[in-house]
Amino acid sequence: MVARIAGVFDEKLTEAIANSKILVVGAGGIGCEILKNLVLTGFPQIEIIDLDTIDVSNLNRQFLFHKEHVGKSKAQVAKDSALSFNPNVNIVAHHDSVISNDYGVSYFKQFNIVMNALDNRVARNHVNRMCLAANVPLIETGTAGYAGQVELIKKGLTQCYECQPKAPQKTFPGCTIRNTPSEPIHCIVWAKHLFNQLFGEEDPDQDVSPDTEDPEAAGTAGKSALSSQQTESGNVERKSTRTWAAETNYNPEKLFTKLFGDDIKYLLSMENLWKKRRPPTPLSWDNLPGKGDAPKQHSGLPDQRVWSVHECAEVITHHCLYKMLP
């Protein structure tokens, strides 16, 4: 490895690398690149944390992952792939959320440097605070479109990640919108994406849920990808929400069952997501909350009355889908 090649690094830096322990938080696009560079440089002790699993859409840019890895833990596969570059490195992978109580100040204190490769502000804020409390240097990284940023954060020497107010987020990670929405804006963005997928300008980056042929579909994650036919380039054919909906002739019951039933069951199969979150509840088209109930009394304006789930389904069916279709 580079650190062992005489003349590349001076003796002091070579010794520092040999005695360092690094934490990488996130195994996505940036995390893959960081991990590869660390093992090729010769850092001997690395831990990596990521809660996510590998999706087909990751394969075009997250080069440590391949078709056979779809549905598996990003952290574990990144570890296995990185070891092929340098099997002498000791890598510990955690398929978990860095916000978990298992990763407190005492955990962070064991590292010489922490490298963030995250895609959401909540986790970034948490790691920033842990590193300040543990007095461990943090290298914060991120991308937005074609722009990228890298920032060194060291207690007492630099400002921290939260020292300057951040502009309100205008875009949100797909995994937040599709898997773990926690704010009203997340639901609004999901609904806008769904409308575009069904009726507007179709954008693959705005898909709202895995389709029934998606390799991450609940309990059999990855199996359909392994058995599916490849294109000439070796990629997996992926059916979009628009294509699937058109094949059902935009059947309201099938659309509703997929989006609010089957996809929710898929999310529930990812148990680590719900350790610290309230899990969602799958809905059944034949037994929606509010079905058979009289409308609740409301003293305000008619448009201010809160609809039941059943009323929402009725409006979507009779006033939206049927009227918008030829």
Tell me how crowded residue 52 is: count the other CB atoms within 10 A of its CB: 22
Cα(70)–Cα(309) distance, integer angstroms: 34
Contact (Cβ atoms closer than 8 angstroms) between residue 51 and residue 97: yes
247 vs 189: CA distance, rounded Å: 25
77-85: Cβ within 8 A, 24+ apart: 78/27, 78/31, 78/32, 78/35, 78/48, 78/50, 79/35, 79/48, 82/35, 82/36, 82/38, 82/39, 83/39, 85/36, 85/39, 85/40
Active site residues per annotation: 175
Which residues sit opposite 138 in a β-bridge?
Answer: 114, 153
Residue 222 · residue 55 · CB < 8 Å: no
Token pair for 20: 């360092």
* Sequence-separated (6 or more) residues with CB below 8 Å from residue 1: 39, 40, 41, 42, 86, 88
Q: How many helices (H) and strands (E) does the chain have?
A: 13, 6
How many CB atoms within 10 Å of residue 211?
Answer: 17
How far apart CA 162 and CA 158 sit, in angstroms, is: 12
What DSSP line would sit under 104-142, residue for residue?
-HHHHTT-SEEEE--S-HHHHHHHHHHHHHHT--EEEEE
The answer to whether 215 and 224 are in contact (CB under 8 A) is: yes
